[in-house]
Structure 1
């Protein structure tokens, strides 16, 4: 009986070992078939940084910092899952032990054999508190860690959205949007576009999230209304840049139409008029493509813009332009500048005659016969 048991034990041992060898061989084969991580070496002119070497050099110190705070590493499955969630990055595709998640001089680095994420402190050094709070937030949803990061390292939270396009948590988005100057075209462009290989791709989902989180999903009920918001006024500057440098943007025509539709949804229609008049090829492309199924842009173009244009071409005096400004009034300027001399102050609802719309500063005439310039978004049409 003992011999039978021993024989079975030996058989079981070698069977398991054989099975394990097969699994290990299979895993090794899969690893060999995986890709090289794309961002592990950073190059910019003569500057070159190999992050495999950086992590190898600093790994013992990184481990000591985690040990100092008794940090519990996540399982490898949780590690992979959370990185997909926050960074839209599948580290399992790559055979490297170290995987850099973004192409920059201060990247987020996944270290598989800990497993942990590495980020520098502001001085570019290994810092235990930064590592602890960042990893606790990402892998364990620690509110305490998030509060620490918001106070001490807001850049790391902002980068989740700006660099990686994260949009799954409205509370985080609220914090990030609150730290972006929507009046600044460059800051806004950095937020809503992803740049790769000198080509900009619009993050439509973030544009929609801005309306939801910052503007409570407001949409106008009629084109006589306007949703006041720096974000939508600055979009017009980005749209103009896209029209002037079309090769810099992926799916340029659709992206332009999408952003014009955002202006239509917000009642900022003066710029749509300006854009159609100054970039007629875009207008033709948008119409020929069925407005890309963007309903509000179609409605404004067909029911308001084309109708008004027809009336103007026929000298129809029933068209009425009037002032609408969030401050309750706007200034008529002598020149096309906010620093120019004020000719007259115009109250909301005051009717004006539009003489020229070839620029963002419309040339108008008041009821008193005074002429000057008003920014396009301060004029509405009845």
Structure 2
């Protein structure tokens, strides 16, 4: 039986989640997976979504709106990198549409495209990232460690832009325009 064979949470390989990302925008779709399975595995294995940058990137590139939404609903913090990827995908989709008009080969199914919805959702969530610290503030650091120079104290509740959300220390920009590092647990995804 499947549930007798499933790995323990510490043995679960999050790379397997990539099989749950759909690609409905192209005519050569080989399979379709119900996106509820992504939620199931994130919940069952208590997966830290801060480790799923590659999965978010894949979901954006394959225009799987439901996967993007699932990650965000599980507190994935949208970064500037995610916005850049979505912008590139939008440009690529426009190029594919133009190619299809000139050569008549229909590989990109425009009616299935979800890139505009993805971009809107990503921007909304990116603009609502903020500091969440029970101390009432957190330190913006010059480097990725607690002994690094403090550039600024950021008041809890203040919005920040996440420039890079990889690793434990995230590169952020404050509303005053200062860039530095904040430990990921001090940031609340919008």
Q: Deviations over 1:31-61 (max 9, x none)?
A: xxxxxxxxxxxxxxxxxxxxxxxxxxxxxxx
Question: Counterpart in 1 of 2:87?
Answer: 280
**Aligned residue among 173, 176, 181 for 1:364:** 173
What is the Cα-based RMSD across aligned positions, in Å? Answer: 4.8
* More helix per residue: 1
Within 2, Cα distance between the matches of 1:188 and 1:253?
18
Q: Distance between the aligned counterparts of 2:121 and 2:153, measured in 1?
A: 32
Q: CA deviation at 1:212?
A: 4.4
Instruction: Give the C-alpha shift of residue 180 in structure 1.
Output: 2.8
SS at match of 1:233: helix
Partner of 1:270: helix, strand, or coil? coil
The alignment partner of 1:268 has SS state of: coil
What 5-or-longer segments of structure 2 have no aligned partner? 20-30, 94-109
Among 51, 54, 57, the residue aligned to 1:234: 51
Query: Structure 1 residue 207: deviation in Å?
Result: 2.3
Between the aligned partners of 2:178 and 2:18, the Cα distance in structure 1 is: 42
1:266 to 51, 74, 88: 74
**Aligned partners of 2:134, 2:55: CA distance in 1, in Å?**
22
Greater than 6 Å deviation, 4+ residue runs: 326-329
Q: Paired residue for 1:305?
A: 123
Secondary structure of 1:374's partner? strand
The structure with the largest alpha-carbon Rg is 1
Change (3 A) 1:278 1:371: same
Query: CA separation of 1:178/1:374 partners in 2, compared to 1, >3 Å: closer, same or farther?
Result: same
1:280: how far off? 1.1
Decide whether aligned partners of structure 1 residues 234 and 320 sit closer, same or farther in structure 2, where only a CA change above 3 A counts. closer
Distance 1:282 1:253 in 2: 9
What secondary structure, in the 3-state scheme, does the structure 1 residue paired with 2:76 have? coil
Superposition deviation, residue 376 in structure 1: 7.5
Does residue 188 (structure 1) correspond to residue 9 (structure 2)? The answer is no
1:234 Cα offset (Å): 1.2
Pick closer, same or farther for the CA change 1:303–1:353 going to 2, 3 Å.
closer
The alignment covers a number of residue pairs equal to 154
Report how far residue 253 of structure 1 moved. 1.0
Match 2:114 to one of 291, 308, 314: 291
Match of 1:209 in 2: 40
Task: Report the counterpart of residue 49 of structure 1 in structure 2.
Answer: none
Change (3 A) 1:366 1:264: closer
The alpha carbon displacement at 1:178 in A equals: 1.9
* Structure with more relative contact order (C-alpha pairs < 8 Å, separation 6 or more): 2
- Residues 259/338 of structure 1: CA separation in 2 closer, same or farther (3 Å cut): farther
Alignment of 1:334 with 2:142, yes or no, is yes
SS at match of 2:173: strand
